[in-house]
Amino acid sequence: MDNKGFISIEYLFTIFVILIISVSLLFFIQSTIESSFNIEDSVSHRLILDDVSNSISQVNSNGEGYSKIIYLPSDKGYYEITAENGKITIDYDGKKGEILLPLSNFDSKYKLHSGKSYTVTKNGEGKIVIT
């Protein structure tokens, strides 16, 4: 303990170790928060896809001439839903989600965009038409 400056070097080393630990904790916390935001975003888009799927299934099961209006919200950002025979797919932020609709019989391939309203109808031929 006769050496002057020994205690101050020890304190500097301790502060350096504390800084390294706190920076690594901050990185871990930031990645955890970011992953929770990604999960929330995925769930909200999945719920939109489920809602569209349920509406199409309702129209399909209620018979010819039945129609239903669906609105795609725009508060979740831009996304595009593709409806074709057997499945509907949502594309958003470079991600993709898909739901199978095995009994669906679409008139053609449809692209639905966020922020717009669409009418889903089952025509006289038993095909689903989206306008």
pLDDT, one tens digit per residue, over 38-92 is 888 888 899 999 999 999 989 988 878 889 999 999 888 899 999 988 899 999 9
SS3 assignment, position 10: helix
Cβ neighbors of 106 (< 8 A, separation 6 or more) are 83, 84, 85, 127, 128, 129, 130
**Residue 108 DSSP class:** S
Residue ranges per domain, the chain?
6-130
Instruction: Round to whole Å and give the CA distance between 130 and 107.
Output: 8
Is 107's pLDDT higher than 90?
Answer: no
Instruction: Round to whole Å and give the CA distance between 106 and 128.
Output: 5
pLDDT (0 to 100) of residue 4: 62
Per-residue confidence band for 102, with pLDDT thresholds at 50, 70 and 90: confident
Total-model pTM? 0.72
Both tokens of residue 107?
A: 């008139």
Contact 76, 114 (CB under 8 A): yes
- Count of beta carbons in the 10 Å neighbourhood of residue 76: 15
pLDDT (0 to 100) of residue 118: 95
Instruction: Round to whole Å and give the CA distance between 33 and 44.
Output: 17
pLDDT (0 to 100) of residue 2: 57
